């Protein structure tokens, strides 16, 4: 008169889903906190301003390189 095999499987799946949801919520509560405007934590920190600017330049150069590979016009930028 115990729980059927299907009931045990459902309990395991629900428990795993609860564990994943709990892990996600703890991670985002304590480790992934950005500013309210949606910027990443490295861009929001005081020392990250120069790095954020540099990484933006790198992303733009990479985007331009991809665009030129596919024949799109490339915008000029300062090196």
| pLDDT reading at 65 higher than 80 | yes
Better pLDDT: 77 or 20: 20
Rounded CA separation 61/74 (Å): 9
pLDDT of res. 30: 83
Decide: residue 66, CB within 10 A, 0-12 exposed, 13-18 middle, 19+ buried: exposed
pLDDT of res. 28: 85
């Amino acid at each position: 008169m115990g729980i059927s095999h299907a009931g045990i499987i459902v309990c395991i799946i629900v428990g795993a889903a609860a564990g994943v949801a709990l892990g996600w919520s703890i991670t985002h509560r304590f480790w992934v906190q950005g500013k309210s405007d949606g910027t990443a934590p490295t861009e929001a920190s005081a020392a990250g301003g120069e790095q954020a600017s540099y990484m933006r330049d790198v992303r733009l150069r990479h985007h331009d390189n991809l665009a030129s590979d596919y024949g799109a016009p490339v915008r000029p930028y300062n090196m």
